[in-house]
Amino acid sequence: MSSFAATLIASLLIAPGDVVVRGDLVHTVSGPAIADGYVLIRDGDIAAVGRADELVLDGDERVHHARIVTPGLVDARGTVGLTGQYNIPHDQDMLEGSKPMQPQLRAIDAYNPQERLVEWVRGFGTTTVHTGHAPGALISGRTFIVKTAGDTVNDAVLVPDAMVSCTLGPAAQKKDGSPGNRSKGIAMLRQKLMDAQHWVREGALPEEEVGAEDGKRDGPRKRDLEMEALAGVLDRQMPLLVYANRAQDIANAVRLAQEFGIAMVLDGGAESYMVLDELKAAGVPVLTHPPMIRMYEERQNAAFTTPAKLADAGIPMAIQTGYESYVPKVRVLVFEAGHAAAHGLGFERALKACTLDAARILGIDDRVGSIEPGKDADLALWDGDPFEWTSHCTGVYIDGKAYDASDCMDGAS
């Protein structure tokens, strides 16, 4: 296309109320970075992206300038919104420990969009979060995906039920309860999945073949929220999100997923670099642990280089902020990605791991994760390299609405 034709097309795109975000460098992620680029926002979506010299402004549009423009960051796994800033019982809804398995618990019912930590992570460029019930129980509940904006959960929600969160290994074991060891945990989880299989089969039978003692149902089958959640895993509507760090626990998780033919996503994976071939053969994506996570007990073999090793092996991988029972319970995604970039992953792969790759694993790449026409206008604006400690997020756009990050970033460097 000639420069004149490109200018003409761009000029036709401009309309009253449009927003133009200019960047000295625009990282689209899905394609090459654009020096002196622009992103045109209309009605909450990205309408066009290209070189600034192709754009003819008429003065009615609003223009926002930044040194660096990236897609809004996508946190592949966290607990923000269920975990609160005060770290006291009233704002700690990420884990309910009365039973070892509670797949019926929904993150959407516990999420607080007004939580200060949601605004906080947004101030560091995170516009989408896969959040929900934390590791720490054999099945802790269901996760969901939200934008880091909105006054109500209905305003924020992107995917109401994303995955069922499961934990294998020491983090799920109880000293004075159940499960007490690995074999008991796997046996309990296997039995629960088998129960769900039976429940699904029973629901598919004709009415006269199942039910009351006389051989017929006494009215419609009673709903079972626990079984319904696991049925969603069995029919692959929701992956089983398995938090596991030891190589033996990762292998157990892969074997269990293959046994039931379910989709699995590995959460944590401190020793995932020890089982690269197995993960790749099974097609299991990894939401790798935050590089700065405390490396002790089951995470004693964690490493800063794990994201790079997974990427080098061709295993789908994304970076997350995770969860630890000790503070800080909510980490900053851009800082974690920066450490991965510095330890072998490099800038481009690190940016992709917290944008487009994360969106693909979460199944939302048609909406977010890259700067492309037709996608949600979710952008992060920076005054320098996002992965440099001295850089700041100067603002974000979520669905085309601007949020000033300066108040959140003061003193963050």
State pLDDT tens for residues 229-286: 999 999 999 999 999 999 999 999 999 999 999 999 999 999 999 999 999 999 999 9
Residue 211 lies in domain: 73-368
As a whole number, mean pLDDT of residues 180-209 equals 89
Q: Which helix (H) or strand (E) holds 225?
A: helix 225-234
Q: Picking from 58-62, 175-179, 204-208, 310-314, which range would have the lowest pLDDT averaged per residue?
A: 204-208
pLDDT at 217: 56
pLDDT band at 413 (very low <50, low <70, confident <90, very high): very low
Q: Are 205 and 153 part of one and the same domain? A: yes
Residues 243 and 260 placed together within one structural domain of the fold: yes
Q: Name the domain boundary from 351, 368, 385.
A: 368
Q: Are residues 52 and 138 in the same domain?
A: no
Burial level of 57, CB count in 10 A (0-12/13-18/19+)? middle
Q: Which residue, chain included where needed, has tokens 């792969």?
A: 349
3-state secondary structure of 14: coil
Instruction: Say if residue 344's pLDDT is above 70.
Output: yes
> Quick one: 312 and 284 in the same domain?
yes
Residues 34 and 118 in one domain: no
Type of residue at 324? E
Q: Write the CB contacts of 317 (distance below 8 Å, at least 6 apart in sequence).
A: 285, 286, 287, 288, 307, 310, 311, 353, 357
Q: What is the dihedral of CA 66, 70, 76, 80, to 10 degrees?
A: 10
Q: What is the pLDDT of residue 211?
A: 54
Q: Are 15 and 142 contained in the same domain?
A: no
Paired residues of 66 in beta bridges: 23
Q: At what angle do helices 247-260 and 182-204 cross, to 10 degrees?
A: 20
Instruction: Please enumerate, as own/partner, the contacts of 3-8 that have beta carbons within 8 Å and a separation of 24 or more.
Output: 3/53, 3/54, 6/50, 6/51, 6/54, 7/53, 7/54, 7/55, 7/56
The mean-pLDDT minimum among 12-16, 34-38, 241-245, 378-382 falls in: 12-16
Average pLDDT score over residue span 97-121: 97
* 145 shares a domain with 135: yes
Per-residue model confidence (pLDDT) at position 209? 56
Q: What is the mean pLDDT of residues 312-337?
A: 93
Q: Report the pLDDT averaged over residues 369-375.
A: 98
Tally the domains of the chain: 2
Which amino acid is located at 58 in the chain? D
Contact predicate 145/362, CB 8 Å: yes
Residue 287 in contact with residue 298, Cβ under 8 Å?
no
Whether residue 399 sits in one domain with residue 361: no
Write down the mean pLDDT value for the chain. 91
* pLDDT, tens digit, 9 for 90 and up, residues 129-185: 999 999 999 999 999 999 999 999 999 999 999 999 999 999 999 988 899 999 999
What is the CATH classification number for the domain harbouring 33? 2.30.40.10
Q: Where are the beta strands (DSSP E) in 86-196?
A: 126-132, 139-147, 157-159, 164-167
Q: In this predicted structure, what is the pLDDT of residue 410?
A: 39
* Share of residues in the chain with pLDDT > 70 (%): 91
End-to-end CA distance of the chain: 43
Tokens of 84: 């609160």
Tokens of 351: 């940016």
Predicted confidence at residue 201, as pLDDT, reads 92
CATH number, position 283:
3.20.20.140
272 token code pair: 């995932």
CB-CB contact of 396 with 381 (8 Å):
yes
Same domain, 67 and 148: no
Same-domain check for residues 355 and 377: no
Which pLDDT value is given to residue 327?
75
- Prediction pTM value: 0.93
Does the pLDDT at position 401 exceed 70? yes
Radius of gyration of the chain (CA): 23
Going by pLDDT thresholds of 50, 70 and 90, the confidence category of residue 56 is confident
Question: For position 11, what pLDDT does the model report?
Answer: 47
Q: Both 58 and 160 in a single domain?
A: no
Same domain? For 130 and 34 the reply is no
Give the pLDDT of residue 1.
43
